[in-house]
Amino acid sequence: MAARLLPALRFLIKGSLAGAAVYVAYDQGLLGSGTQGAEALRKAQAALPPAIQEWTSYVGWEVRTAQMNTLPPTPKFDFSPSDFWNKGVQTVMSALSVAPTRACDYTVEGWKYVKDLVK
Amino acid sequence: MASEGELGRKWDRCLADSAVKLGAGFGLGIVFSVIFFKRKTWPIAFGSGMGLGMAYSNCQHDFQSPYLLHGKYVK
């Protein structure tokens, strides 16, 4: 009786754990629409700095010196992929547009330097 | 809100959702791998793949529905 009951009980516990994990993921909006996923990421980003602050103070890494009372504030994660991408494209394009002029300038300077060396 | 920024906002939403779904699929894959499948690797890959697929489907729906406004459901 007990031999048959134990595997069933074990399966029940495992099933409950797996079901709880899936339910928590669903309840937090991780398996929903794109807006819900973005909202969940924003909530996690907002919760991260206080959690880091709490953890560092728990471990005892808060340094008190004459100049400053606490560690510098934890950085805020305000990441916008499209802004970063656009800025990257603008930087690359502006560098390409001034590249011929810069190349000419460097060539002239280099030629002048060599002429001075040869003199 | 400028309309030319709407595409950028959609991309931001899409990438954030992809990161969240990949992480959730990965995490659930680990849970199922440990609990049911004797710590094999394939449930983790399966979960991650499912997460990415769900994110791709959401992104596709978002980009192909230009006239829908995103609202917030207030409970």
pLDDT at residue A99 is higher than 50: yes
Average pLDDT (A31-59) is 81
Among B16, B24, B32, select the one facing A38 at the smallest CB separation. B16
pLDDT band at B63 (very low <50, low <70, confident <90, very high): confident
Lookup: tokens for B10: 């959609």
Whole-prediction pTM:
0.64
Q: Any residues with CB less than 8 A from the CB of A76 and at least 6 apart, and which? A: A49
Report the pLDDT value the prediction gives residue A1, as an integer from 0 to 100.
75
Across the interface, whether the CB atoms of A41 and B8 are under 8 A apart is answered no
Report the pLDDT value the prediction gives residue B9, as an integer from 0 to 100.
85
Min distance A43 CA to chain B CA atoms (Å)? 11
Among A21, A33, A80, select the one facing B58 at the smallest CB separation. A33
Mean confidence (pLDDT) of chain A = 82
Report the pLDDT value the prediction gives residue A67, as an integer from 0 to 100.
47
Alpha helices (runs of H) in B1-75, residue ranges in sequence order: 6-35, 42-63
Name the DSSP class of B4. G
Across the interface, whether the CB atoms of B24 and A86 are under 8 A apart is answered no
Q: Distance of CA A62 to CAs A51, A58, A66, A74, Å? A: 14, 9, 13, 12
d(CA B35, CA A18): 7
pLDDT band at A66 (very low <50, low <70, confident <90, very high): very low
Lookup: tokens for B26: 């990965």
Name the DSSP class of B41. S
pLDDT at residue A29 is higher than 60: yes
Specify whether the CB–CB gap between B20 and A40 falls below 8 A.
Answer: yes
Q: Distance of CA A117 to CAs A103, A105, A106, A108, A111, Å? A: 21, 18, 16, 14, 10
Q: Any residues with CB less than 8 A from the CB of B61 and at least 6 apart, and which? A: A34
Report the pLDDT value the prediction gives residue A65, as an integer from 0 to 100.
47
Min distance A64 CA to chain B CA atoms (Å)? 37
Report the pLDDT value the prediction gives residue A43, as an integer from 0 to 100.
85
Specify whether the CB–CB gap between A33 and A24 falls below 8 A.
Answer: no
Average pLDDT (A23-36) is 86
